[in-house]
Amino acid sequence: MPVKNRFAELHDEIAAWRRDFHQHPEILFETHRTAGIVAEKLRAFGCDEVTEGIGRTGVVGVIRGKETGSGRTIGLRADMDALPIHETTGADWASKTDGAMHACGHDGHTAMLLGAARYLCETRNFDGTVVVIFQPAEEGGGGGREMCADGLMERWGIEEVYGMHNWPGVPVGQFQIRPGPFFAATDLFEIEIEGRGGHAAKPHETIDTTVAAAQVVTALQTIASRNADPVGQVVVSVTSFQTSSNAFNVIPQKVHLKGTVRTLSPEMRDLAEARMTTICTSVAEAFGATARVDYLRNYPVMVNAEAQTDFAAEVASAVAGGCDTADLVMGGEDFAYMLEERPGAYILVGNGDTASVHSPDYDFNDEAIPAGCSWWAEIVERRLPAA
C-alpha cells in the first residue's frame, strides 16, 4: 500500500499548517499559540475528546473508531516546540520570532499528526481508540516526562505508543528504525575546580586552576578510551571552560566546566558518572586544588520494544516499499519517557538531502508529509483492524 490518496489531496493544506507553525516558533513549554491551534483543529475535525494543559501545555485528542469492542487504545505522539536558534533559511515562511526557529522539524511532526487525526476522524475505520498526543518541551525541557507525570497513560488507558522524527540524509518519505536502545541517555555535568588565585608572574605562589582543569578535561576522555568496554557506547564532551578571571595577568581562583555524557545502557551510565567523580577529584587533588562535580541524569535511553518495532517497520514497508535499519543515535529524545511507561516504537522518516537538524539553515521538507501521515494512519488501521 503506497501513501494514502487522501493525504495527497490534503498535502497543500497540511503544508500550510506546517509553515504557519514554522513562522511562529515557541520554545520549551511556551507553546501556547501552537497548542491552541492544535486543540482548535482537533475539535473542528470532530475528535471525541480534546484536553489541553497536560504536561503544562500539551494537548491530547481522543478518536474512537466505528467499533470499540476490542477495548484497545494506542497513542500517537508528536512534539511541538522549537529551538533558540536564529533562522537563516530565507524561506518565505521563515521564523518571525528573532532568536527562535523550528530547527528540528517539530512543526512538521505536529502538522503530520494533525493530518492523520483529520483522516482518522473522517474514516474511523478501526476497532478501538486512538489518542493523539501533542507534546511541548522536547528540546531539553522533559515535556514527555511532564505529560506522563500528569497521568497521560493511565488517564486515557494507552497500551502502546508510537512516535516519529524526520531525518535529513534519508531519502524523502523513506523510513528507518531499529529495536532496542536507539537514542542515547543525555546526562549533564558541571565541575567547579578551586585553587588559589594570584599573579600570573608568580605561579609558584598559586594553585593554578587552569592547569588543573585542562588536565581534568584530558583525563575525562579516558572514560571512553580506557574505562568503557570498547564495544560499548559512551561520549563525554566538555563543552564550556570558564575561568573566574578574564585578565591576562591573573591566575584564576576558580574554573567552571560544563558538558554532557551520552550512553546507551544503564551500566555505561553508572560507569561514566562514577569515573567522572573519581577523575575530577583525584586530578584536582594532585595539583593541590579541589573539585566539585554536579552530575544530572537527564533524558534516559530511548528503547524501542521489539514487537512494536517489527510492526512499525512492517507498516513503513507497506507505505514506502521498504524500511531500513537505522544507526544508533547518540542524541537524546524524550519520547524515551513514554517508552518507559508503555511498549512502543520510534521511527525516522526521510527529510532528503537537507541541512541537518539544529542548524540555522534547516527546514522540514514538506514532501515527506504524505508518507508520514500515511504511516500514522496505517499504524492505527493495522493495529486496530475493524471487523
Got the DSSP string for 165-214? EEEETSPTT-EEE-SEEEE-EEEEEEEEEE-B-EETT-GGGSB-HHHHHH
- Sorting pLDDT into bands at 50, 70 and 90, what band is 387? confident
Q: What's residue 232's pLDDT?
A: 87
Provide the 10 A C-beta neighbour count for residue 322: 12
Top-confidence residue, 1 or 160:
160
Phi, psi (degrees; rounded to nearest 5) at 327: -75, 160
- Sorting pLDDT into bands at 50, 70 and 90, what band is 285? very high
40 annotated as ligand-binding: no
- Sorting pLDDT into bands at 50, 70 and 90, what band is 316? very high
358 annotated as ligand-binding: yes
Q: What's residue 26's pLDDT?
A: 98
Q: What's residue 181's pLDDT?
A: 97
The reported pTM is: 0.95
pLDDT above 80 for 240: yes
Average pLDDT of every residue of the chain:
97
Q: What's residue 3's pLDDT?
A: 74
CA distance readout (Å), 373 to 14, 79, 258: 10, 15, 40
106 annotated as ligand-binding: yes
pLDDT above 80 for 231: yes
Phi, psi (degrees; rounded to nearest 5) at 331: -75, 165
CA dihedral in degrees (332, 337, 343, 348; nearest 10)? -30
Give 83-142 pLDDT, tens digit per residue.
999 999 999 999 999 999 999 999 999 999 999 999 999 999 999 999 999 999 999 999
3-state SS assignment for residue 284: helix
pLDDT above 80 for 262: yes
pLDDT above 80 for 2: no
Q: What's residue 140's pLDDT?
A: 92
pLDDT above 80 for 1: no
Give the domain ranges of the chain: 5-183+301-383, 185-299
Strand order in the sheet with 290-299: 234-243, 254-263, 185-194, 290-299
pLDDT above 90 for 356: yes
Q: What's residue 108's pLDDT?
A: 98
pLDDT above 80 for 214: yes
Got the DSSP string for 88-157? ----TT--SSTT-B--SSHHHHHHHHHHHHHHHHHH--SBSEEEEEEES-TTTT-HHHHHHHTTHHHHTT
Would you say 98 and 25 are in contact if contact means Cβ atoms under 8 Å apart?
no
Give 19-31 pLDDT, tens digit per residue.
999 999 999 999 9
Give 203-213 pLDDT, tens digit per residue.
999 999 999 99
CA distance 18 to 52: 20
CA distance 364 to 342: 29
- Run of H or E including 19: helix 5-23
- Run of H or E including 9: helix 5-23
CATH topology of domain 5-183+301-383: Aminopeptidase (3.40.630)
185-299 belongs to which CATH class?
A: alpha beta
**What is the distance between the terminal CA atoms of the chain, rounded to a whole angstrom?**
19
Q: What's residue 385's pLDDT?
A: 97
Q: What grid cell was written down for 90?
A: 530565507
Residue given cell 510492526 in the structure block:
311
381 annotated as ligand-binding: no
121 annotated as ligand-binding: no
Q: What's residue 4's pLDDT?
A: 84
Query: How much of the chain exceeds pLDDT 90, in percent?
Result: 98
Q: What's residue 95's pLDDT?
A: 98
Give 136-167 pLDDT, tens digit per residue.
999 999 999 999 999 999 999 999 999 999 99
Give 8-59 pLDDT, tens digit per residue.
999 999 999 999 999 999 999 999 999 999 999 999 999 999 999 999 999 9
CA distance 237 to 260: 5
